[in-house]
Amino acid sequence: MSLDLAPSPVRSDAPAPSSGRALTVAIVGATGAVGAELIDQLERRAFPVGELRLLASPRSAGRSLTFRGRPVAVQVLDDDAFDGVDVAFFSAGAGVSRRYGPVAAARGALVVDNSSAFRMDEATPLVVPEVNGRDLPAEGAGRLVANPNCVTAVAVMALGPLHNEVPIRRVIAATYQAASGAGAAAMEELRASTAAYLDGRAFQPQVLKHPYAFNLFSHDAAVDPATGYNGEESKVMDELRKILGAPDLRVGITCVRVPVLRAHAMALTVEFASPLAAERAREILSTAPGVRLVDDVAANHFPMPNEASGRDEVLVGRIRPDTSDPTGCSLALFVVGDQLLKGAALNAIQIAEAMVGR
């Protein structure tokens, strides 16, 4: 089976939205890891940016970031920063989004929010365009759209097409989440702690609670003592139900941080309402938008973070029957996607493209 994973890691040929005019675009949280990817994606995908406003906290004001080969100064985030803004991308945490997202929307901006602030709000669409783009607000309707959790966005790229073929009843998942999910500082801590470990030097974690080099640990979101699930796991469970339009979907998940710089991986066991053959699942996923099938049994070549990093597509493979289910209704698969791209920035840009291109 040909996998064709080289050489170009990132799509740059996406058509520009046909808005007919250059837009004023704001990025809130521009100096973070996702903010940097948003800037890069705006340029790579030829989004019709006339003016780019980079917004961050006062400590970042005055820094310059590069867009289209030119420096753009970072401005302080305040209410007036949204005057005249057409599209505002938020990636600075739920508190900032709750404070400023409604302000930007009220001033006429399309707001695409990457935080958890509005994801489960009944009035706010939670969208992965390839899966539930139909849920985007109609022209002239709501001006705020939520971007899902990175695990949800990656997982649903594989689950959505299969759910359309045969309804999914249950998902059991274990994730292997990269440092990128905790931001640029966590990525740097992984680099520094790994270097210290190899040099035999002591290293005191500053960003994460546990030693990161050559280690893995449960995602450090707070655990709900009543359910035993942490906040990351609860988000994924709720968001999968909302995006798939399956409020009764049974989901169990364990989220684990692993010493990988970027690209989240996950093992999924999926129970369907009726039998779905592994070969039929491969056929579906091989033509699903935004998905690349990597399922070479002979070469033992399946999705890996180093091949997903920097790629737009989510890699899916290791598709096989779940032999623990005697009904034949369950499949196991392995899914890997770049947390900073489809898990965050790319999905946000795709939402804006769909809205602006109308």
What residues act catalytically?
150, 264
Please count the other Cβ atoms lying within 10 Å of the Cβ belonging to residue 199: 8
Q: Where are the alpha helices (DSSP H) in the chain?
A: 33-44, 94-106, 129-132, 150-165, 184-199, 231-244, 278-286, 305-308, 346-356
CA–CA gap between residue 179 and residue 197 (Å, rounded) = 17
Backbone angles phi, psi at 216, to 5 degrees: -145, 155
Could you give the 3-state DSSP secondary structure of residue 96? Answer: helix
Helix axes 150-165 and 278-286, enclosed angle (nearest 10): 120
Strands, E, within 57-137: which ranges?
A: 64-67, 70-76, 87-90, 110-113
Number of other CB atoms surrounding residue 328 within 10 Å: 14
